[in-house]
Amino acid sequence: MEYALQVKDLSKTFILQKRMNHVLKNISFSIEKGEMVAIMGPSGSGKSTLLYSVSGMDRPTAGDVYLENKKITDLNEKELAQIRLQSMGFIFQQMHMLKNLSIRDNILLPAYEASKNKEMRVQKDQYCQELMKKLDITEIGDNDVTQVSGGQLQRACICRSLMNQPAILFADEPTGALNKSASEEVMKELNKLNHQGITIMLVTHDMKVASKCSRILYIVDGNINGELVFDQFEDTRQTQGEFVEGEVLKLREKRLSQWLNDMGW
């Protein structure tokens, strides 16, 4: 079994005004390469904290995280920043795009940071063009971030997260600020990317989004309380190039809704 991510006995405690808040309590789980895992749970249960702690955006209080078998919890800030830039992609609900740059330059920014010379930058320019075409935002490349729709902006964010060809994508409520059709647009792209082999870990409170993932972890009060894996037979359709839709999606949504009910959602 090849793991994209392994998390062992992870804890995160915040200290505010001398009071300890144990947000993550000894969490362990693994994500295999090629999986698309959704994290669900009540507001304040620690979902975002979990995502930040495993992706090195924040330091866990205790425990270890391995990215493709490499322990990342021991790394210093500089090494960690390098790993984040090279091997991880990030998509957030309110994505921070720079207002004085065009959409294209925003997408290129992390790629340029990771490029050592002019030749590499030329390659990145080309790759950026390809990605923008794939995600159907070529025509808004010169626009300012305020001159595009929510769905377009989120697709630009996806482009940006992919520029350094990450092994894993982390997304915190990637559709949280989008309307139904934009949300579907974005999920279609994420499903496509996952189908092409990128591992995805995302946080969501949207059943429709979670139904399109292969596995769901339910977190309550800093613990993983349950796990739902969608059936293998359903997934064969995906591996044959069909995405989760139609009847399979309806079946999944029904199962998920029952399961969430059992979880106390």
Site residues for Mg ion, 221-240, by CB under 5 A, read none
Is 146 a residue that touches ligand ADP (CB under 6 A)?
Answer: no
264 binds, among ligand ADP, Mg ion, none (CB under 5 to 8 A by kind): none
Site residues for Mg ion, 28-47, by CB under 5 A, read 47
Three-state SS sequence of the chain: CCEEEEEEEEEEEEEECCEEEEEEEEEEEEEECCCEEEEECCCCCCHHHHHHHHCCCCCCCEEEEEECCEECCCCCHHHHHHHHHHHEEEEECCCCCCCCCEHHHHHHHHHHHHCCCHHHHHHHHHHHHHHHHHCCCHHHCCCEHHHCCHHHHHHHHHHHHHCCCCCEEEEECCCCCCCHHHHHHHHHHHHHHHHCCCEEEEECCCHHHHHCCCEEEEEECCEEEEEEECCHHHHHHHHCCCCCCHHHHHHHHHHHHHHHHHHCC
Is 1 a residue that touches ligand ADP (CB under 6 A)?
Answer: no
The only residue of 4, 5, 23, 88 in contact with ligand ADP, by rule CB under 6 A: 23
Number of residues this chain uses to bind ligand ADP (CB under 6 A): 12
Stretch in the footprint of ligand ADP (CB under 6 A) among 14-22, 153-161, 191-199, 250-258: 14-22
Quote the least distance from Cβ 57 to ligand ADP, whole Å.
11
Site residues for Mg ion, 42-71, by CB under 5 A, read 47-48
Quote the least distance from Cβ 11 to ligand ADP, whole Å.
12
Residue 243 or 265: the one with the smaller Cβ distance to ligand ADP is 265
Site residues for ligand ADP, 29-68, by CB under 6 A, read 41, 43-49
Interface positions with Mg ion (CB under 5 A)? 47-48
Interface positions with ligand ADP (CB under 6 A)? 14, 16, 21, 23, 41, 43-49
